[in-house]
Structure 1
Amino acid sequence: MIFSKRISTFFLAAALISVAGCASTSTKEGTGEYVDDTVITTKVKAALLNDATIKSREINVETFKGVVQLSGFVVNQSDATTAATLARGVKGVMSVKNDIRMK
């Protein structure tokens, strides 16, 4: 009886530790957040590719906890503004940091 309680306590503790290992912190994403951010990044890149006016190959997209960061180079300021607008239109984007520079 005591042995079975110790074993069940051990497995409960192991389960709690493994779940805590997947939790996020302010500087590290949890597993679910990482997957969500990957999906957001892919959708933003697709939106940029579908826009004929922007040379999206020169724009980098990174996402952390729903915040999208755009970086790279464009020909004019309107392309940078358009890229930020397209990124804001993607579902799941909390905010956009536009670090795109003009050539």
Structure 2
Amino acid sequence: MKQIRNFLTLLLLAITLASVIGCSSTSKQESTGEYLDDSVITTKVKTAIFNEPTLKSAEINVETFKGVVQLSGFVNSQNDINRAVEIAQGIKGVTSVKNSMRLK
């Protein structure tokens, strides 16, 4: 009976360890929690850009990886680029902004 209990304890420990390792992130892969956080950040940035009347939100793409927001697309002016970057930087959870936007 004691051997069975020890075996079950060891099995439970192994399963717990495997699940923790499986949910951790690497430099090139996000954990589930980070993915959800990044999805929220992306949505907030897109919404803020959409609500900015001077920007055409359909022309700006937003992607987030581990809190780093990347903006891409084609815009009409340098002012549009600067404003989009400024908006993204103002969102809670954004650690930095990479600007890949280009002028038309």
TM over 0.5: yes
Shift of residue 63, structure 1, vs aligned partner: 0.3
Percent of counterpart pairs with the same letter?
Answer: 58
Give the structure-1-normalised TM-score: 0.98
Measured in 2, the distance between the counterparts of 1:93 and 1:78 equals: 21
Give the counterpart letter for 2:88 in structure 1: A
Measured in 1, the distance between the counterparts of 2:99 and 2:92 equals: 17
CA RMSD of aligned residues (A): 0.6
Shift of residue 8, structure 1, vs aligned partner: 1.4
Unmatched segments (≥5 aa) in structure 2? none
Measured in 2, the distance between the counterparts of 1:7 and 1:22 equals: 23
Q: 1:68: which partner in 2?
A: 69
**DSSP-derived class of the 2:102 partner:** strand
Unmatched segments (≥5 aa) in structure 1? none
Q: Which runs of 4+ in 1 moved over 6 A?
A: none
- Number of residues paired by the alignment? 103
Q: 1:90: which partner in 2?
A: 91
**DSSP-derived class of the 2:92 partner:** coil
Give the structure-2-normalised TM-score: 0.97
